[in-house]
Amino acid sequence: TVYVYLGATIRGLIQNGSVIKAGDIEKYSKYPAVARLIVEPSAIAEVKAKIRNGGNLYAIAYQKTVEYK
């Protein structure tokens, strides 16, 4: 199983659109906002819409990834 990261690019950690294998997700667990934005491919459109619309956990997590820079 693979997942896709939908947050902002964080230099030295992860890039927007990165494909992540299921076994590699744990290494992002110390970054909760990053972990929340690692989603299954079938959820990409829904999560992107939620990020755009704001006022939900995905939008808040995205903003935090922007601030990680």
Cα separation, 40 vs 15, whole angstroms = 16
Mean pLDDT of the chain: 96
Q: List % helix, strand, coil for the chain (3-state, nearest 5).
A: 55, 15, 30
Q: Is the pLDDT of residue 20 over 90?
A: yes
Pairing outcome for strands 2-5 and 19-21:
antiparallel
* pLDDT of res. 69: 63
Q: What is the mean pLDDT of residues 10-35?
A: 96
